[in-house]
Amino acid sequence: MFESLTDKLQGIFNRIRGKGRLDEKTVDEVLREIRLALLEADVNFRVVKEFVARVREKAVGDEVLQSLTPDQHVVRIVRDELVALLGGEAEPIRWATRPPTVFMLCGLQGSGKTTTCAKLARWVRSQGRNPLLVACDLQRPAAIKQLEVLGEQVNVPVHTPATGGTSDPVSTARKALEHARSQGYDTLIVDTAGRLQVDEALMDELQRMRETLQPQETLLVVDATTGQEAVSVALAFNERLELTGVILTKMDGDARGGAALSLKAVMGKPVRFVGVGERPDALEPFYPDRVASRILGMGDVLSLIERVEQTIEEEEAKALEKKMREASFDFEDMLNQMRQIRKMGPFEQLIKLVPGYSQIKEQLGEVNVDERSLKRMEAIILSMTHKERRNPEIIDYSRKVRIAKGSGTKVEEVSALIKQLMEMRKTMKQLAQMQKKMQKRKWNPFTRRR
């Protein structure tokens, strides 16, 4: 699945790889090629148009992350937009709080409903649940037998309509619910009849079944190889049935992937599973981020991008480290730190989490920075001018008096806080120097020998 799109996109990205800068002309060219690639993959043209517009906006507007080359920057944007297009975060199954959870599968003739019911039953069991298959396709006499055979293959029992009596899908569904409740099945998977086209009779029957079953998941089964036709079918069903999602079958026979890429954007409902073969184990939950990575087919570049994204947070930490080294830590930094600490929780509990704290506890004596004193410290800093916070050296006696008054504290407390900051600077500088020495020793074989 998606093979042809993957090939095209890789070709496009390979051509811009190694370019130092992406000028507007190159970006335009790349976008034109991406647009063509998506159209050839049979993605809905309006979806393509919006996709390209969003990528362009970001490619021009977003800051290029340090340590990503321009082409990697574009790959990152395309990846993010692909994930969004495929549905963003995968939605979890809505398991019923009071069992049984009901999955009702519907769709056109031959789309793969019956096969998928069996696959889904197998998957549900792998989730540690106890499923029951329900045969509600009473149109074709062979349909019940088909489900029974499949049920046997996956080792899940099948509830069938009572023989003899006049049975319709709705009463079969009702009986299956009762059976599940009395026999302790926690999940029902209901197979329904298909039609050649979306027609009134079918929709009417499905709607009545829905009223009876109150399914947690009403899933439409569509054949991925039909491309945009699958999207139209989905729209028609969704209008009448309030689907919760789509199962795309026969993805193994669809190299283009147009339906998968258009469904969420066009009808607003996510793809939940894809069928990738005829066998009972050929069903995969649909995770947009994994699928996007598979489409881009650039494992190496994508993991690099992820690493860079993680590094951004580390860079912020490094900026602080630099301040420590240069002893330029000031009251603004102190304020930021205090606020972060407050966000994390009570200070006493926090400091217990510091590695090695239990060993140095005695030396430290009582931790005297509690919530209340943090608040007083904050008040003092907030009463300083911006210039004073950045350059605490300029705070003379008259400034201290003003700050104490403004914060409702004593002049001695203001002095103590300034002294504390100066001490912190000194300690930080010493720490930084020690670290530097240790690093030198580690890396320089000559100093090590000495």
Q: Binder to Mg ion among 69, 114, 172, 218 (CB under 5 A)?
A: 114
To ligand GTP, the closest distance from the beta carbon of 191 in angstroms equals: 7
One-letter amino acid of 291: V
d(CA 106, CA 137): 10
d(CA 222, CA 233): 8
To ligand GTP, the closest distance from the beta carbon of 169 in angstroms equals: 13
277 touching ligand GTP, by CB under 6 A: yes
When the beta carbons of 261 and 418 are compared against ligand GTP, the nearer one is 261
When the beta carbons of 193 and 261 are compared against Mg ion, the nearer one is 193
To Mg ion, the closest distance from the beta carbon of 353 in angstroms equals: 57
As given in the structure block, the two tokens for residue 443 are 């890396």
CA dihedral 407, 412, 416, 422 (to 10 degrees): 90
As given in the structure block, the two tokens for residue 125 are 């069991």
d(CA 29, CA 88): 27
Instruction: Name residues contacting ligand GTP, limited to 86-115 (CB under 6 A).
Output: 107, 109-115
Query: By CB neighbour count within 10 A (0-12 exposed, 13-18 middle, 19+ buried), where does 175 fall?
Result: middle
Instruction: Name residues contacting ligand GTP, limited to 197-256 (CB under 6 A).
Output: 249-250, 252-253
When the beta carbons of 101 and 249 are compared against Mg ion, the nearer one is 249
When the beta carbons of 113 and 272 are compared against Mg ion, the nearer one is 113
d(CA 121, CA 151): 8
To Mg ion, the closest distance from the beta carbon of 242 in angstroms equals: 22
115 touching Mg ion, by CB under 5 A: no
177 touching ligand GTP, by CB under 6 A: no
**Given the rule CB under 6 A, which of 83-91, 231-239, 272-280, 405-413 is the region that contacts ligand GTP?**
272-280
| Bond preceding residue 100 cis, omega within 30 of 0 | yes
143 touching ligand GTP, by CB under 6 A: yes
187 touching Mg ion, by CB under 5 A: no
* Nearest one of 306, 244, 272, 308 to 89, comparing CA atoms: 272
122 touching ligand GTP, by CB under 6 A: no
* φ and ψ of 223, to 5 deg: -85, 115
* φ and ψ of 360, to 5 deg: -95, 5
Q: Binder to ligand GTP among 62, 204, 278, 332 (CB under 6 A)?
A: 278
Question: How does DSSP classify residue 245?
Answer: E
257 touching ligand GTP, by CB under 6 A: no
State how beta strands 271-275 and 283-285 pair.
antiparallel
Q: Provide the binding-site residues for ligand GTP, judged by CB under 6 A.
A: 107, 109-115, 137, 143, 194, 249-250, 252-253, 275-278, 282
